[in-house]
Structure 1
Amino acid sequence: MIAIISAGIAPGLALLSYFYLRDQYESEPVILVLRSFIFGALLVFPIMFIQYVLEVEGVFTSETLYTFVAVGFLEEFFKWFVLFFTIYQHVEFNEHYDGIVYGVAVSLGFATLENILYLFANGVEYALGRAILPVSSHALFGVIMGYYLGKGKFSEGSNRKKWILVSWSVPILLHSVYDTILLSYMNWKYIMVPFMLLLWWFALRKAKKARVKILDSRLS
């Protein structure tokens, strides 16, 4: 049991620590980051229940539609909802990169509890694969969500609404593509590897741009 919990928690905490420590100018309060992590974890049970009901009731006849609505939309929209209504207006959200820290915290809270439950059900031998794919992908969706939410926070007028819209729609799209690759292709590894490499590149590029914006604002 201890081995499963440790294996389930370790990748999430490692990724959260990585993105947290990349905030070189003004680290966010650890308590607030952990609170965001816990809020993300609390989303797991209601979302799993909704997904179970949708599957049992056969609401979606198309696997692609189920993947987009019941997985991509539900998970990313509710993570965004928590992020927007608990962090967006918070006084500590005062720099562009802060959105990434809190976006990653919410996403990894969700991914970590989901990972622990999966390992309890299927065995600790899946821990490495889960760390490389589901946990890291959730972290990267959180980076992208937080980046665009930060862009919206520090934009004016109509641009603010545009970036807030992008902050939830892009992660939903990327998550749906991720699950479609897993479920729809027999040789999914040949597609997933370049997709994940592209996702890492895209997310890290956004994180770097957010840090550059902080540096520019401090120098100006």
Structure 2
Amino acid sequence: MDERRDPVERAAGNSMDLYDIATWEERTSVDGLAVALYRLLVASSKAIVIGLALIILIGIGGLSAITDPQIGALTLLSALPALGLAAYVYTTDVTENEPISLMVVTFLLGVLTATFAAIANSLLSNAGQVIASEFNLALGFVGSVIFFYLVVGPVEETVKLLAVRLYAYSNSKFNAVVDGAVYGAMAGLGFATIENALYITRNLAESGLDLGVASAPAIIGAGGTITAVRALAGPGHVIYSAIAGYYLGLAKFNRENFGPIVVKGLILAALVHATYNSTVGIGSGIIASVTGIGGVGAFLLYVIIYDGIFGLYLIRKIQRYSNAYHEAHDQGPSAAAFGPEQTEFED
């Protein structure tokens, strides 16, 4: 685009060699060194982020789902609904199937980056109550709502999007807007899986059960309720991050508005996420009082209604892309002929 070119370059066109004057490309050995160092810095920064996340994961006991087969089994069961939803999003990609290897890496990065949210949520756990007290608002519920909207929603959706940005985003297979939703869903699945593992581990520890000597049936029996609850919470993470991921894909192909588009996706995902956290208790209570269904049943019904509404929003967004894809291919050249624009952060 002309507005992104220097005035000298615009005026000269291709008639002058403007290397190191108004344009640049790799020519000399110093140029090559600069390119190599830049790529090393980018790769190193990603490695540092991943390494730090792994250290935190080990520190907070997140590896229990791997080291303890009983907890691992409960975690796997709790992740099945989220896995099913992520698989469905995967099948809605009208362009081409994403490589399984990229999906697995994104899932694992979703597990790792979740640790940043765990630390942030812990450090800022009293933020809502502090803000509520400063404005003379009622503590308790109001403080929790503020915490959900200002901390939990934004932080958790950002770290899930980071899982996509660290690897899949810069891969050549991420070559369509809708791919963002697919990888976002996988990041959400990874986040939900490790979150479930931590909740299940903590719940079993609080039950007083000695995991070292308890039998498998005893562990599964003690963890059955929390496993069911976490199974219902998991699909929400997939929906929220798939929404944010879709906008990350949209931003990749609209570089001039990259920042605002990504922020829009995060705002939508964080709002839906925080609203769920803020209303699930009240909503379940209303359902219980109206229908007479109590406990997990009322919670299940509320989750189905809430996730159904925003799951439908996600599906309709993907369907609109699918319809546009088919319409464009019926009228013009294949979209495969046009590759994604390379960014300054891509290898």
Offset at residue 72 of structure 1 (A):
0.6
- Counterpart CA distance in 2 for 1:212 and 1:150 is 17
Matches within 5 A, 1:60-99: 60-61=128-129, 62-99=143-180
Pick one of 37, 45, 68 that aligns with 2:115.
Answer: 45
- Counterpart CA distance in 2 for 1:75 and 1:146 is 13
1:203 aligns with 2:314: yes
1:103 aligns with 2:184: yes
Provide the residue aligned with 2:228 in structure 1: 128
Provide the residue aligned with 1:143 in structure 2: 242
Pick one of 253, 267, 270 that aligns with 1:169.
Answer: 267
Provide the residue aligned with 1:59 in structure 2: 127
- Give the stretch that moved more between structures: 43-52 or 107-116: 43-52
Query: What is the percentage of aligned positions where both structures have the same residue?
Result: 25
RMSD over aligned CA atoms reads 2.4
Gaps of 5+ in 2: 1-69, 130-142, 204-222, 289-301, 333-347
Provide the residue aligned with 2:87 in structure 1: 17
- Counterpart CA distance in 2 for 1:135 and 1:43 is 16
- Counterpart CA distance in 1 for 2:111 and 2:282 is 28
Offset at residue 130 of structure 1 (A):
2.6
Q: Conserved in 1, the CA contact under 8 Å of 2:79 and 2:231?
A: no
Sort the Cα spacing of 1:121 and 1:78 in 2 relative to 1 into closer, same or farther, 3 A: same
Gaps of 5+ in 1: none
Sort the Cα spacing of 1:127 and 1:64 in 2 relative to 1 into closer, same or farther, 3 A: same
Sort the Cα spacing of 1:31 and 1:153 in 2 relative to 1 into closer, same or farther, 3 A: same
- Counterpart CA distance in 2 for 1:60 and 1:162 is 26
Offset at residue 186 of structure 1 (A):
6.9
1:157 aligns with 2:227: no
Pick one of 184, 197, 204 that aligns with 1:116.
Answer: 197
| Residue aligned with 2:172, SS | coil
Larger Rg: 2
TM-score, normalising length: structure 1: 0.85
1:30 aligns with 2:100: yes
- Relative to its length, the structure with more helix (as a share) is 1
How many corresponding residue pairs? 216
- Counterpart CA distance in 2 for 1:84 and 1:45 is 16
TM-score, normalising length: structure 2: 0.56
- Counterpart CA distance in 1 for 2:275 and 2:239 is 14
Sort the Cα spacing of 1:69 and 1:156 in 2 relative to 1 into closer, same or farther, 3 A: closer
Q: Which structure exhibits the higher relative contact order, with contacts defined as CA atoms closer than 8 Å and separated by 6 or more residues?
A: 1
- Counterpart CA distance in 1 for 2:271 and 2:328 is 31
Q: Residue 15 of structure 1 aligns to which amino acid in structure 2?
A: L
